[in-house]
Structure 1
């Protein structure tokens, strides 16, 4: 089941594992990394914060969206955090700081990302798994669920 910020977060009565898709937004590209993960891990509950109207939300709607993201991050069993090479990703950097020491975070950060040195150092300090590409991260994600 896929949940977006338009959905009420579930109470996990079926003990189903869940994944939060954090990271750079790529809705302007074909072949979204999020769609790839949803296709491959669709048997799990997936929290996808993608909101194509994000830049046009009013204050009340934005607050609701942010609170949904924070609640979904906390509720999730695993967080897949993907930094795309040409993105700034300020919210993703905040999410990294919030969950780097949680033991439920898997990070993808290519060397081309403008803050890759910082991200890699932070992950190494807290023994958070970090990969240069999504293919490597998927293997760990499968084994972690």
Structure 2
């Protein structure tokens, strides 16, 4: 018999990594932001904070990503990745965004511009991010909440899911 002390806590969330197919049968959260090097990434911290919830987390990180890939529309793996991300952001109930101060994150800035109007975005933008003022102004304009860290981001994701009616009482 396994020890309850040593067994990991049960998880209710499902994590889908790009470019895998997913079924939208529960609330979904897309992780938009810089792709950090393991072991501790903002994505893993946020996923751990939400693991007790019945949600699907759509993570654009791709284990097989090859930095030699051409970032061109006619290069199939790149095209597949970008389209997976766009489709996942459109399908998500919440887009959780993290601007890491150590990364310029130009794609994340573009994603902010594309989806800020949709009222389904929560942003963490710590002090030190090079375009923090721009992020704050865009978010203020479109009523997107900005927080300072991943812990606050997790709290706001849960609140937004509730506000949108995506979380049902279980």
User: Do they superpose with TM above 0.5?
Assistant: yes
**Pairing 1:46–2:57 present:** yes
**Which ranges of structure 1 fall in alignment gaps of 5 or more residues?**
none
SS state of the match for residue 47, structure 1?
strand
Q: Pick from 68, 80, 99 the counterpart of residue 56 of structure 1.
A: 68
CA contact (8 A) 1:80 1:105 kept: yes
Deviates more, 1:132-141 or 1:82-91: 132-141
Q: CA RMSD in A?
A: 1.4
| Count of aligned residue pairs for this structure pair | 141
CA contact (8 A) 1:54 1:62 kept: no
Shift of 1:61: 0.3
CA contact (8 A) 2:45 2:150 kept: no
Aligned residue number for residue 144 of structure 1: 160
Closer/same/farther in 2, CA of residues 41 and 98 from structure 1, 3 Å limit: same
The correspondence of residues 9-20 of structure 1 with structure 2, limited to 5 A, is 9-10=22-23, 12=24, 14=25, 16-20=26-30
TM-score by length of 1: 0.90
Kindly name which structure, 1 or 2, has the bigger radius of gyration based on alpha carbons: 2
CA contact (8 A) 1:20 1:80 kept: yes
Aligned residue number for residue 6 of structure 1: 19
Q: Which runs of 4+ in 1 moved over 6 A?
A: none
SS state of the match for residue 101, structure 1?
helix
The correspondence of residues 76-91 of structure 1 with structure 2, limited to 5 A, is 76-91=92-107
TM-score by length of 2: 0.77
Whole-angstrom distance in 1 between the partners of 2:66 and 2:47: 20
Q: Pick from 86, 95, 113 the counterpart of residue 97 of structure 1.
A: 113
Whole-angstrom distance in 1 between the partners of 2:127 and 2:46: 22
